Amino acid sequence: MEYFDARRKPHNVGKIIAALVLTTLCIFVLKQSPGFGGNSVFSRHEPGVTHVLVTGGAGYIGSHASLRLLKDNYRVTIVDNLSRGNMGAVKVLKELFPQPGRLQFIFADLGDQKSVNKIFSENAFDAVMHFAAVAYVGESTLEPLRYYHNITSNTLLILEAMASHGVKTLIYSSTCATYGEPEKMPITEATPQFPINPYGKAKKMAEDIILDFSKSKGADMAVMILRYFNVIGSDPEGRLGEAPRPELREHGRISGACFDAALGVIPGLKVKGTDYPTADGTCIRDYIDVTDLVDAHVKALNKAEPGKVGIYNVGTGRGRSVNEFVDACKKATGVDIKIEYLSRRPGDYAEVYSDPTKINKELNWTAQYTDLTESLSVAWRWQKSHPRGYGTN
């Protein structure tokens, strides 16, 4: 027995030494990695690098904005609870920009104050683009409290975190729904805001909170509020698109419903409201391509100044009726979509289109993708190649 132990002891010591060497080496390697011990590049400010927090960055508009920011060499952190967003969109962005320090994704709910504070304490943000929100007019009339929580309350938590952590620049994603149903067209930034549905009301409340905070002593905020109109289209290179949850089709955008009808997912398109005081009886809207929309956000970020607030309508300046839109969708898809006409949708308004003069003048922004059929054709190509959205195709 003594002989056996004597032979084994040196062998065990060798194993222990090897394990210690290996452990030391692993610790050394980990310490050199960007994410060890809070030493992530995302946790510190760097000269010449602007780190943008994109809330709702896994969603339709947020993912396209993240793509544009990454293309323009911004550092991006996406925060999303994936209730409306798609992890598939984040995966596409990570594959396009795999380099360390370019993009990180954080799964979190912006209604959780502890989570929000933790995110801000662990990351060095230079600016916030706040897209995260539930955003369906019809749904807001059915679930108003959800909309006030998700839009208004969550924006308040974001502002509190920004104030606590010294983040001074906010680009806020708002909506023309804050105007309600104005008496005069087109809508300018001076048009009175009288929203008529919980979605518009919640967004206006969030705007009011932002404006009040920006005026408070010591805030020194750089704020840009973008009120945009009906978003269509997708990435011209086919990398991203719109993929709403199937259960939300009833409340979704008309473009999604048109594509579903063209794909045979639904039997036809339901047009809600034919008795509006418009030329053909259907609603009139200003349709803005998502590529133009994110361009406006980046221009707003570049022009944001401490102590100043900019409020801008983002639209083409031209209204198109639902019937015109359907005709364009038929041309884009090549499908003779069946149409069913129904009564009005609660909370909708007859006519809304923008006067983009202010954003043209002050941000040097003009909508470039104004051909309705072409924007829908681009989006249709993505839809056809992604019949299950970002899922298995």
Closest by alpha carbon to 81, among 13, 154, 27, 14?
154
Q: At 247, list the tokens.
A: 């259960």
Distance CA(222)–CA(162), nearest Å, equals 12
Judge residue 216's burial from the number of C-beta atoms within 10 Å of its C-beta, 0-12 exposed, 13-18 middle, 19 or more buried: exposed
Q: CB–CB of 92/131 below 8 Å?
A: no
Helix (H) or strand (E) holding 382: helix 372-385
Distance CA(28)–CA(117), nearest Å, equals 30
**199 included as an active-site residue:** yes
CB contact set of 376 (below 8 Å; sequence gap of 6+): 232, 233, 255, 258, 328, 329, 331, 332, 333
Choosing from 199, 228, 312, 349, which is the catalytic residue? 199
Number of neighbouring beta carbons within 10 Å of residue 279:
11
What positions carry a catalytic annotation? 199
